[in-house]
Structure 1
Amino acid sequence: MDRRTFTRIIGLSALSLPFTSTAAFAQGPSIEALTGQKSPKLYSKDIPLRYEAGKAFADMRKAALKDRMKLHILSGFRSFNRQRTIWNNKYVQYTKKGMSPTLAIEEIIKFSTIPGTSRHHWGTDIDIIDVYKPMPKSPLETKYFHDPKHYDNMRKWMEKYGPDFGFYMSYTDDLVRKGFSYEPWHYSYEPIASEYLNHFMDVDLVGELKKRGVYGHEYLKGEIWDRYLEENILDINAALKS
């Protein structure tokens, strides 16, 4: 059995941990869990991932230390409310500059997700850097992940060894891929994330956005919404789609 298959089996078995019954597991994760309204049991304060993903990250961090780099999570689990704050702030910023609502939405979704749709809601995704390297004021910029003075070595290490621990870059540097721009700092724990993605596609979120105070919700429907799902949610690293 190869390591990726073994990791998948272990990860999916552990998926039952956050739920209170076999019946709940059979039904899959709740809407609250899929949309970040319910926080999962996190591994630790400095590894804010659901337990089984956090354990895999801890093991990966130990391995990286042997190669003289220290992986550090800048962002792990993110709640719906936190994502809504990010979204609403950007929406106000862009519309105040004179952008139309639809143009503001197009600009936001280059890098930010619509609240309730972030992979960070699942407790499986991370934005990481190597703290053994100097940290720029705004570290999550592509140029630093292709610069040996900063995170180029970490990026190469993660691309090579991350899959051994179940972690894959979510938004790859692929000219054919649409949706979110290339993010060499963003990784997903595949054994759980791919399963959550399958369940997420069954969630009807459009009607909930208005209730939860998401700015511009009236424009998040029809063609814009369908294209967002197809390009931003589904057009990801093929390794993360089961």
Structure 2
Amino acid sequence: MPTAEINRAHLYGLNEQHLAPCSAHPQDTSEQPLYLHPDAAAAFQAMQTQAQAEGIDLRIASGFRSFARQQVIWERKYQAPTRCHMSPQERLADITQWSALPGTSRHHWGTDLDLYDHQRVARSDLVLETWEYARGGPCHALFLWLEQHAPRYGFFRPYDKDRGGVKPEPWHWSFAPVATDYLQQFDVDQLKRVLQQNPLPGLAPTADYFDAYIEAYVRQFVYQIAAPQG
């Protein structure tokens, strides 16, 4: 069970007061810091140090993402000309294969990271597609390294396979010790109130399909993971 009540604003990305800055790399001051939960940041930086010693320049492509930022992404994709022929529910199903509804993204918690190998692909060239992490892709060696080592630091892949909702994301890693508490305290009724105050195009959070969406795209990503080691 969670050890402490989590502020609703933190669960749904409404503010970032629970987060700490995390530099892209200790020796790189050219990039603006990202923000993560302090425990996730400490675990990531320890993992990054080991990766660097083994020839992998582990970097974060995306860390914390606010509700407002997720809303911009959602509205851009919802209004895309390629989806203008779709019904609202068809657009929802199409977009959420790769992008979460605002309020439901694990990136709101500061526990989840999109990772890449800066030595083999520049951030500006990274597109976060599965081929980049497959055999022959620039981040394949990183992917294999993370599969072996990331669990020692408390990280796992929530989107490791297709469960009928989110498509597999080999770049997305979650810090289990904190994400567990956030997932346990996720409250669909609270989320509905947030969305009623921040309406999104094409979304009716009181519709019959909404609870099914939460089960398929949020709640089913539970896991078993070994306790992180030093």
Q: How many residues align?
A: 213
Match in the other structure for 2:21: 43
Match in the other structure for 1:166: 154
User: Is the partner of 2:156 in helix, strand or coil?
Assistant: strand
Q: Where do residues 79-90 of structure 1 align in structure 2 (5 Å cutoff)?
A: 79-90=66-77
Which has the larger helix fraction? Answer: 1
With the length of structure 2 as denominator, give the TM-score of the two structures. 0.85
User: Is the partner of 2:80 in helix, strand or coil?
Assistant: helix
Match of 1:211 among 194, 197, 210: 197
For the 8 Å contact 2:40–2:111, the answer to whether it is kept is yes
Match in the other structure for 1:29: 6
Q: Which amino acid aligns with 2:183?
A: L
For the 8 Å contact 2:132–2:138, the answer to whether it is kept is yes
Match in the other structure for 1:200: 186
CA distance in 2 between partners of 1:97 and 1:138 (Å): 27
For the 8 Å contact 2:83–2:91, the answer to whether it is kept is no
Match in the other structure for 1:115: 102
Match in the other structure for 1:78: 65
CA distance in 2 between partners of 1:133 and 1:198 (Å): 37
Q: Where do residues 122-161 of structure 1 align in structure 2 (5 Å cutoff)?
A: 122-135=109-122, 137-161=125-149
Structural RMSD (CA): 2.1
User: Is the partner of 1:217 in helix, strand or coil?
Assistant: coil
User: Is the partner of 2:55 in helix, strand or coil?
Assistant: coil
CA distance in 2 between partners of 1:187 and 1:42 (Å): 18
Tell whether 2:157 aligns with 1:189: no
Match in the other structure for 2:30: none
Structure 1: runs of 5+ lacking an equivalent: 1-11, 13-24
User: Is the partner of 2:60 in helix, strand or coil?
Assistant: strand
With the length of structure 1 as denominator, give the TM-score of the two structures. 0.81
Match in the other structure for 1:239: 224
Q: How many angstroms does 1:97 deviate by?
A: 2.4
CA distance in 2 between partners of 1:229 and 1:95 (Å): 25
What is the percent sequence identity of the aligned residues? 32
For the 8 Å contact 2:96–2:166, the answer to whether it is kept is yes
Q: How many angstroms does 1:92 deviate by?
A: 1.0
User: Is the partner of 1:48 in helix, strand or coil?
Assistant: strand
CA distance in 2 between partners of 1:187 and 1:195 (Å): 16
Moved over 3 A (4+): 135-138, 220-223
Q: How many angstroms does 1:65 deviate by?
A: 0.9
Distance 1:56 1:203, change over 3 A: farther
Tell whether 2:69 aligns with 1:91: no
Q: How many angstroms does 1:221 deviate by?
A: 3.5
Distance 1:237 1:181, change over 3 A: farther
Distance 1:213 1:223, change over 3 A: closer
CA offsets 1:64-99 (integer angstroms, 9 cap, x no match): 012100111010001110011111111111586211
Match of 2:212 among 209, 213, 227: 227
